[in-house]
Amino acid sequence: MADTLIDVKDLRIHFFTDEGVVRAVGGVDLAITRGKTLALVGESGCGKSVACRALLNIVHRPGKIVSGEIIFHRMFHQSSGSGSDASVDIAELNPKGREIRDIRGKEIAMIFQEPMTSFSSMYTIGNQIMENILLHTNLSKQEARILTIELLDKVGIPKPSRLIDEYPFRLSGGMRQRAMIAMALSCSPTLLIADEPTTALDVTTQANILDLMQNLQKQYEMTLLFITHDLGVVAEIADEVAVMYLGKIIEKSDVFTLFNSPAHPYTQALLKSVPKIAMTREALDPIKGMVPNPYSRPSGCPFHPRCPKAFAACKTIVPKTTSLGLHHTVQCLLYEDVTERQATEALS
């Protein structure tokens, strides 16, 4: 457990609406390794952002964490120089309590998905970054301002001593994203969650932001949880990859294994749908169908209505997690003894 920073067990998040219950996250098991980069990938609407917001306990009404554990292994350094592990279940904390407020922004920080709306337009960039520093440290306002200028300079913002007093709407999308990264890094977090931080940026700015995040990760010795649907980004920055579909982690492995030996049909389909430089007249091979309506989830395997390898049992049996090797797991009936499963469930 010394290498595990966060251990998520059977996390379930439901949204209780007038139209019905949306089971956005349906039993996620996920271990985030300390000091590594974990990429969480999948189509829009699969529950990636909601699951990661739960790590900060900011799932707002009508959403609710209905069950599961989010064990955060906090490392405290003692005066003797050794470290001690004090674990806490984030899912059990009061969302407005002091303990989770001490964790948010300080030990776990998040870069939100849309840089254009992540900052309030009513306050300057500097005020909003300084607020986080003053909340979690004992620095004075002058010291917090100096640190903010240093952070803005570190993330590549030109003339930070001037731009610290600018309002967000006067900055470009790339500049705002850099300022958002500066805010997230202001208290040297143990875990940085980046929710598609390059989606709204042009290709050149996207490459610069990715290089910046990798360099800062090494400098601050952070763990990085990167949410994306861009497999090119995954190949560039990730150590481990978790593939999510309809609220479940259906495959998890190291990045080399996932790209070279994908096991789940959904993962295979994702990789086939990526455009390749060598392609000339070949048409793209998109995944057929759409992510199911959240109010009418399919029974059995959630991917079976779109799966080219589905068979009769996929419509009724929910796959269990199967280990395919070291750090490689998959949820698919193709890798289970379905006959034995059916017999066992019939007896029960």
Contact (CB, 8 A) for 47 and 244 = yes
Does 342 have pLDDT greater than 70? no
* Tens digit of each residue's pLDDT (9 = 90 or more) over 6-49: 999 999 999 999 888 999 998 899 999 999 999 999 888 888 99
Write the DSSP string, 149-182: HHHHHHTT-SSHHHHTTS-GGGS-HHHHHHHHHH
Does 80 have pLDDT greater than 50? no
* Tens digit of each residue's pLDDT (9 = 90 or more) over 134-175: 999 999 999 999 999 999 998 888 999 999 999 999 988 888
Question: Do the bridges between strand 191-195 and strand 223-228 make them parallel or antiparallel, or are there none, so unpaired?
Answer: parallel
The greatest distance separating any two alpha carbons of the chain, rounded to the nearest whole angstrom, comes to 72
Contact (CB, 8 A) for 51 and 11 = yes
Q: Using a pLDDT cut of 70, give the percent of the chain over it.
A: 89
Rounded Cα distance between 106 and 99, Å, is 11
Rounded Cα distance between 58 and 60, Å, is 6
Confidence class for position 207, pLDDT limits 50, 70, 90: confident
Does 115 have pLDDT greater than 80? no
* Tens digit of each residue's pLDDT (9 = 90 or more) over 223-240: 999 998 888 888 888 999
* Tens digit of each residue's pLDDT (9 = 90 or more) over 253-306: 999 999 999 999 999 999 888 777 665 566 677 888 888 887 888 889 999 999
Contact (CB, 8 A) for 192 and 141 = no
Q: Which domains does the chain have, with CATH numbers?
A: 4-238 (3.40.50.300), 248-275+298-347 (no CATH)
List, in order, residues 6 or more apart from 291 with CB less than 8 Å away. Answer: 43, 44, 45, 46, 246
Rounded Cα distance between 314 and 331, Å, is 11
Average pLDDT of 310-329?
90
At residue 3, the pLDDT reads 87
At residue 57, the pLDDT reads 94
Q: Name the burial class of residue 108, with classes exposed (0-12), middle (13-18) and buried (19+) by CB atoms within 10 angstroms of its CB.
A: buried
At residue 133, the pLDDT reads 93
Determine phi and psi for 213, rounding to 5 degrees: -65, -40
- Lowest-confidence pick of 67-76, 204-213, 276-285: 276-285
Determine phi and psi for 227, rounding to 5 degrees: -95, 125
Q: What is the mean pLDDT of the chain?
A: 86
Pull the structure tokens for residue 162. 């001037």
- Dihedral angle computed from the Cα positions of residues 185, 64, 34 and 83, in that order, rounded to the nearest 10 degrees: 90
Q: How many CA atoms lie within 13 A of 272 on its CB side?
A: 14
At residue 2, the pLDDT reads 55
Does 79 have pLDDT greater than 80? no
Q: Euclidean distance between the first and final Cα of the chain, in Å?
A: 34
Contact (CB, 8 A) for 183 and 194 = no
Q: Which of 297, 251, 240 is nearest to 32 (CA)?
A: 240
At residue 203, the pLDDT reads 78
At residue 33, the pLDDT reads 92
